[in-house]
Amino acid sequence: MPATTSVHGQWTTRLAFILAATGSAVGLGNIWRFPYIAGDNGGGAFVLVYLGCILLIGLPVMMAEILLGRRGRQSPINTMVTLAREEGLSRGWGMVGWIGVLAGFLILSFYSVVAGWSLSYVFKSGSGGFMGLDADGSEAMFDGLLSNPEALLAWHTIFMVMTAMVVARGVQSGLEKAVTILMPLLFVMLVVMVGYAMVEGRFIAGLEFLLYPDFSALTANAVLLAMGQAFFTLSLGMGAIMIYGSYLQSEASIARTSAAVVGADTLVAIMAGLAIFPIVLGAGLSPEQGPGLIFVTLPLSFAEMPGGLYFGTMFFVLLVFAAWTSSISIIEPAVAYLVENVGMTRVAASASIAIAAWLLGIGALLSLNVWSDYTLFNMGILDLLDYVTANILLPLGGFLIAVFVGWRMTERSVQSELRMKLGGLYQIWYFLVRFVAPIAILFVFLRAVELI
Ligand code: PHE
């Protein structure tokens, strides 16, 4: 019989889990990554494919991942080994956990660098740096940051320390409370930003850009990016949601909980797009700004907005908090593994993983300036880490999770953990996990490989 609680602890309520999982899901992926990738890939058609991936692959895989985590109640590596043994399968399934740990380490390294940009913008805004800014000035300000390795390193270091500090203390103490306050605040700020874009930007043009599908702009690579973004934004395929699921009470409904998290995450991404594109188009900027998109456009809103000094500062503070509640979930699987199998304390485990990711992050931040000539497939280290994790490792992890739950576990085990009425909704979910998710992921992979 699998354990009923994890040695690492448990959320106090189902709501706490929803907030923590939403905290993990809502992050730089929604506010930084989604708008710029949608912008680079023509908008509407990309967004449509992304929403399709969220609903048909993301939601069912999230349920599968929580199910596995709650049944295994350990780090993803040990959970997969335990559950495979329970079903009489190979220990090799532990690989799913290992892929996740690798992906988490690679993601954190660049995530912390970008969170560092956000930290730096808190102070730029707070010191009045956005006042009187025009489009050129805003671009120059962002370029100035990227070309300054010392500044990037300082912010990256601070963010990594913040992450390790929370994880070292354990997931519940402080964190639960933090997400309860911060997530609603972030939401309110986004509403304000969308309201501003509505009044001051070219809102209809922004809406059209985001929602009007021009399928001629949709390449096979854009479909891969949309799928990768769906995994990234929902924190799927690398064990973060699995380990959060391992701290979830046995009675909580996995289906309803997942739907809440996916709904909140999607809403935040769309709102971020609606806050940004009207401003981009209104200022005559191109949506194809790449990773700098929000850092170049949002300061323009704040420059003009009454109270922009305060709103701007608060917005970037909240962006940092959103990134923070995600980064802790990125290293939690690896930390839990070190505690379980190597006998490290949480403090030592958190510090070790954070230091390793910090070192790789230095490579990522140097790729923005002194190492900018070194590229592979036309990408610097930061872009490469981002591309490989989101578009290859996470979908691969998701594929294996779907195959494990859909084909290798007995349906009885699946049903006993899911505890859902065995009606139509259950049937749809099971069909999506067994057929739609794995086949779609394979298909998108094959199409994208053909391109190379
Ligand atoms: N979902 C987070 C975001 O959108 C990133 C993340 C990826 C977190 C993978 C955990 C695991 O920013």
**Helices and strands counted in the chain (H then E):** 22, 0
Q: How many CB atoms lie within 10 A of CB 357?
A: 27
Q: 420, 256 in Cβ contact below 8 A?
A: no
**Taking Cα atoms as reference points, which of 254, 236, 182 lies closest to residue 397?**
236
Token representation of residue 332: 């939690």
CA of 6 to the centre of ligand 1 (A): 23
Q: What is the pLDDT of residue 175?
A: 65
Cα(123) to ligand 1 centroid in Å equals 24
Q: What's at 248, amino acid-wise?
A: L
pLDDT score recorded for residue 184: 84
**276 CB-side CA count, 13 A:** 29
Is the separation of the CB atoms in 120 and 145 below 8 Å? yes
* Averaged pLDDT, groups of 10, the chain, 452 residues long: 71 87 95 94 95 98 98 97 97 97 96 98 96 93 97 98 90 69 85 90 93 87 94 97 94 94 96 92 88 92 85 89 93 95 94 97 96 90 94 97 98 94 94 98 86 52
Which residues is 9 bridged to in the sheet? Answer: 6
Handedness of CA 315, 382, 229, 437 (dihedral sign): negative
Q: Which residues of 234-269 are buried (b: 16+ CB within 10 A; e: fewer)?
A: bbbbbbbbbbbbbbbeeebebbebbebbbebbbebb
Please list, residue by residue across 405-414, b when 16 or more beta carbons sit within 10 angstroms of its beta carbon and e when fewer do. Answer: bbebbeeebb
Contact 38, 207 (CB under 8 A): no
Please tell me the distance between residue 164's alpha carbon and the centre of ligand 1 in angstroms.
16
Across-strand partners of 6?
9
| Most informative mutation of 321, 330, 386, 391 for ligand 1 (most atoms within 8 A of CB) | 330
**Burial state string for 64-95 with b = 16 or more CB within 10 A and e = fewer than 16:** bbbbbbbbbbbbbbbbbbbbbeeeeeeeebbe
Ligand 1 atom closest to Cα of 25? 1
State the CB neighbour count (10 A cutoff) for residue 286.
11
Residues with CB under 6 A from ligand 1: 24-25, 27-30, 107, 232-233, 235, 238, 240, 326, 329-330
d(CA 386, CA 407): 30
What is the Å distance from ligand 1's center to 328 Cα?
10
Name which residue sits closest to atom 10 of ligand 1, judged by CA: 235
437 Cβ contact list (under 8 Å, min separation 6): 56, 57, 60, 61, 398, 399, 402, 406
- Taking the C-alpha atoms of residue 155 and residue 145, their distance in angstroms, rounded to an integer, is 11
